[in-house]
Amino acid sequence: MDVQLDGLDLQLNVNAIQSVEDGLLVKSSALTVSLPVIPVRYLYSGWQSWSLTSWAKLDRPILPMRPNILHPMQTDPIYARESRPNGSWYGAVEFADGRMFFLGALDLESHVLLDGKSLIGFYEKGDGDWFLATGDESKFMSRYAEFLGVRLGHARTRSVPRIWCSWYSLYAEINESRLQKILEVVGHIDSPHCMPFDVFQVDDGWQVGIGNWEPNTKFPSGMKNLAARIIDSGRKAGLWLAPLLIVPSSEIYRQHRDWLLNDENNRLVRAGFNWGEPLFALDTTNPAVLDWLVSLMNKVRSWGYEYVKLDFLYAGALPGKRFVDMPRESAYTHGLKTIRDALGSAYLLTCGAPILPSIGLCDGLRIGPDVSGNFASPLNDNLLMNYTTPGLRNGIRTSFNRLWLQPLVNIDPDVVYFGSRLNDLTKEDKSIQKDLAKICNLKSTSDIPSWLSEGERNDLQTFLASQSEILNTGKTSFQVDGHPVDFGKYINLPNSPGLFAIILGALIGRLASIPTVLKAFDKLIKIQRNKSLKDRPV
């Protein structure tokens, strides 16, 4: 049927449409919208927290990223090799005259793809609703958020704690005495010179292994004891886990192979590679897995942790053959609901998490890749075409394009850096990162207080104490506490790689898909981090 939307002539392969304020609603398993002309830009929507979400010109398409071994943990592996512009749940196009058209699914397991002049939205199983709109991006995204809120729900609390997180300074090199020292410097929350963090969050590095969620030998007094010390400082204790992942060195892998997600050929589904091992996923429709997850969450709660960062959650929504036959994102929400219930009143931050399926079930949601003390990685940008890896620009780009999620959930653009040790960020970089955190209303850092200069420490204290005034002044610009901020420069994509870069990148990508190479790389980084911590203790 032919329709006109704000003067834009469209052709739709459906019989029934419903007009709503600011757009149209249609129901379809596979909807094709014939656009009047080929657009000039496309809005890619990444699947999970770290996946690229960005506008890209059609003459600068997003090519399959490298290395392949990391596809399941950085993008939606089903569409990782799709060279046509595409994205999870929604997409938008911009025409040469600046007009835009948006197509967004209101139900899960949906995808949008641009094929020439056809914008195609489809559901992986069954059918569902679509919202179609034109006009201003901020307007159609906020209308989309309203529709999603009705279907998926909202975060239970809008009160967001200020967090000290161990990851971005100590990485996996945390231990009891290092954390204890930091806790002492940070001081009791009621003391006049304290650093006012509401949560002290222990990240990756405390556990025996992935799937074996007991304290390792670096935490001889145990996790309950550590939580008690944190609570004694007047704060909530926070803990990181990746509950849906399993690695071959774990007992679960050996004893409960039937808990793991398989593909149609009964081979284990790969969930990426990290910690020197291939990653596998738990099947969240298996009642035995759900029981295990409930007791894991109960244990974490009984230790005293009231802020839980659950990471690498995409594993629960990977394609596979499940114990109960249900679509993959529904399988994930089924598992996350169980986890949510078991966590009770604890604050739940989801990370590495499929975006739409996490809404309504979590309190906070990481909306971008990890930041780091570097602006960008030339290797990942120019040769591997991978924009999901740690770096300030990658973090800002994707998080900026997901600000529209704010009415639904507490959005987390990751930590802010204040220090200059092990950090190449310029003053301007740090300032824009701080402004993004203020816009998101999320204050967290991993800086080691004793590494900060007096000025840096003051800056952090001011940030933690601030109540910001935010004004959206343009497509990429804001006023934050009275000063103008423009994200334009940060959200651009690097130039398309040339032929030489593509060939060299393919070679490096091959190398980086070899487990022993990845493992050796991890080891080198670990040695370097340990050396640097010896040179300058916390």
Which of the ranges 67-75, 263-271, 278-286, 505-513 carries the binding residues for ligand 9PG, by CB under 6 A?
67-75
Q: How many CA atoms lie within 13 A of 279 on its CB side?
A: 25
Q: What is the 3-state secondary structure (H, E, C) of 159-170?
A: CCCCEEECHHHH
Min dist CB 388 to ligand 9PG, Å, is 6
Q: CB-wise, 198 or 204, nearer to ligand 9PG?
A: 204
Tell me: does residue 285 bind ligand 9PG (CB under 6 A): no
Which uninterrupted H or E stretch holds 457?
A: helix 454-465
Cα 315 → chain centroid? 13
Min dist CB 67 to ligand 9PG, Å, is 10
* Position closest to ligand 9PG via CB: 204
Q: Which residue stretches of 265-407 are H helix? A: 287-303, 328-343, 355-358, 378, 392-400
CB-based contacts of 44: which residues, under 8 Å, 6+ apart? Answer: 52, 53, 54, 55, 56, 62, 85, 86, 87, 91
Query: Which residue in the set 22, 107, 370, 459 belongs to the binding site for ligand 9PG (CB under 6 A)?
Result: 370
Tell me: does residue 50 bind ligand 9PG (CB under 6 A): yes
Query: Which residue in the set 28, 74, 398, 401 belongs to the binding site for ligand 9PG (CB under 6 A)?
Result: 74
In Å, what is the CA distance from 272 to each residue of 71, 388, 407, 517? 7, 14, 32, 14
Query: Which residue in the set 22, 109, 129, 204 belongs to the binding site for ligand 9PG (CB under 6 A)?
Result: 204
Tell me: does residue 240 bind ligand 9PG (CB under 6 A): yes
**Number of residues binding to ligand 9PG, judged by CB under 6 A:** 13
CB-based contacts of 63: which residues, under 8 Å, 6+ apart? Answer: 83, 385, 497, 502
Of residues 286-325, those binding ligand 9PG (CB under 6 A): 311
Closest by alpha carbon to 361, among 312, 313, 400?
313
Q: CB-wise, 286 or 433, nearer to ligand 9PG?
A: 433
Dist CA 533 CA 260 (whole Å): 37
Residue 486, exposed/middle/buried by CB under 10 A (0-12, 13-18, 19+)?
A: middle
Which uninterrupted H or E stretch holds 199?
A: strand 199-202
Which uninterrupted H or E stretch holds 230?
A: helix 222-232
Query: Which residue in the set 274, 333, 398, 446 belongs to the binding site for ligand 9PG (CB under 6 A)?
Result: 274
Can the peptide bond before residue 67 be classed as cis, meaning omega within 30 degrees of 0?
A: yes
Tell me: does residue 73 bind ligand 9PG (CB under 6 A): yes
Min dist CB 50 to ligand 9PG, Å, is 5
Tell me: does residue 203 bind ligand 9PG (CB under 6 A): yes
Look-up of token digits 């930091």: 182
Q: CB-wise, 341 or 521, nearer to ligand 9PG?
A: 521
Instruction: Tokens for 281, please give them.
Output: 């996923």
Q: CB-wise, 131 or 197, nearer to ligand 9PG?
A: 197
Query: Which residue in the set 167, 200, 259, 314 belongs to the binding site for ligand 9PG (CB under 6 A)?
Result: 167
Tell me: does residue 109 bind ligand 9PG (CB under 6 A): no
Tell me: does residue 447 bind ligand 9PG (CB under 6 A): no
Binding mask 456-495 for ligand 9PG (x = CB under 6 A): ----------------------------------------
Dist CA 524 CA 509 (whole Å): 19
Q: CB-wise, 73 or 293, nearer to ligand 9PG?
A: 73
Min dist CB 49 to ligand 9PG, Å, is 7
Tell me: does residue 164 bind ligand 9PG (CB under 6 A): no
Question: Rounded to a whole number, what is the distance in angstroms from the first to the last CA of the chain?
Answer: 66
Contact residues for ligand 9PG, defined by CB under 6 A: 50, 70, 73-74, 167, 203-204, 240, 274, 311, 351-352, 370
